[in-house]
Amino acid sequence: MGLLCCPVCGKPLTMGEKTAKCENGHCYDRAARGGYIHLLRQHRRGSADPGDSAEMCQARTRFLSGNWYAPLRDAVAEQARALAPRDVLDAGCGEGWYTAAVAAALPDARIAGIDLSCYALRHAGRVCPAVELAIASLFELPLADASVDLVLHLFAPMCADEFARVLRPGGRLLTITPGAKHLWGMKEILYPKPYENPTAVRTLPGFVFEHETRIADEITLTDPADIHALYQMTPYAWKTGREAAARLLAQPVLRTPIEFQIHQYRKISE
């Protein structure tokens, strides 16, 4: 049996080649492309495609494949390796770029990844085929109570209550957010007055903060397709107007800082 559980009865799912089943007979088809299963409860759906669009996923895949964010990927994988967890959840795994690195660092661990986007999970299924993948909500995780040792949370909505529920006592949460000056070079082009990202350590119910790791670098993009992909994968793609977007995409070169913070929390033992 795997880490994922049936959303109807809560029993663990056994992953087969084409389906996933629980002991009560509830059965879920595995997608032909990506091998993921659909575990999103009906009342959480809202739309046929609630996650990131195909265009956003394609842009993110292109940009990340250029290894521009390799310092972050490697730091996350190293912190996961140092914690030596048996069972891991990547909450909001996207296309699996970070998940695959963690899986390589933890060859003996069981890993599950969830996301709302079927387009992202199709790619994740190709790059990390041994990971259990499902369409599901972070606010209603298809995992049993106290079933994982580590939750990875990269650039996704914060659901501290659910993360605390699925973590074992003493389990760790790694949450990754942009640093203050992340993509400052892009912001200088898009906005008359660029703003810094918030960086305060959040107080999370059920957790104690342990430490922070900051990662900073600078990247220089000279391919217009890379600049476009970076823009498309950020919230700025729908937050800025056409004029600002055109100004950015007309740049022959984009030089910008990248900055991230990894905050490690420990679940408080009850």
> pLDDT tens across 123-154, in order?
999 999 999 999 999 999 999 999 999 999 99
The predicted-structure confidence for 72-102, as pLDDT tens digits, reads as follows: 999 999 999 999 999 999 999 999 999 999 9
Segment 25-43 shows an average pLDDT of 88
* The pLDDT of residue 213: 97
Instruction: Report the distance separating Cα 262 and Cα 100, nearest Å.
Output: 18
Residue 44 has pLDDT above 60, yes or no: no
The predicted-structure confidence for 151-164, as pLDDT tens digits, reads as follows: 999 999 999 999 99
The pTM (predicted TM-score) of the whole model is 0.93
* The pLDDT of residue 45: 46
The predicted-structure confidence for 106-117, as pLDDT tens digits, reads as follows: 999 999 999 999
Tokens 């973590």 correspond to what residue?
167
Fold of 33-218+256-267: Rossmann fold (3.40.50)
CA 78, chain centre distance (Å)? 17
* The pLDDT of residue 270: 64
The DSSP code sequence of 83-130 is: H--SEEEEET-TTSHHHHHHHHH-TTSEEEEEES-HHHHHHHHHH-TT
The predicted-structure confidence for 46-75, as pLDDT tens digits, reads as follows: 555 667 888 999 999 999 999 999 999 999
Residue 164: CA count within 13 A, CB half-sphere: 15
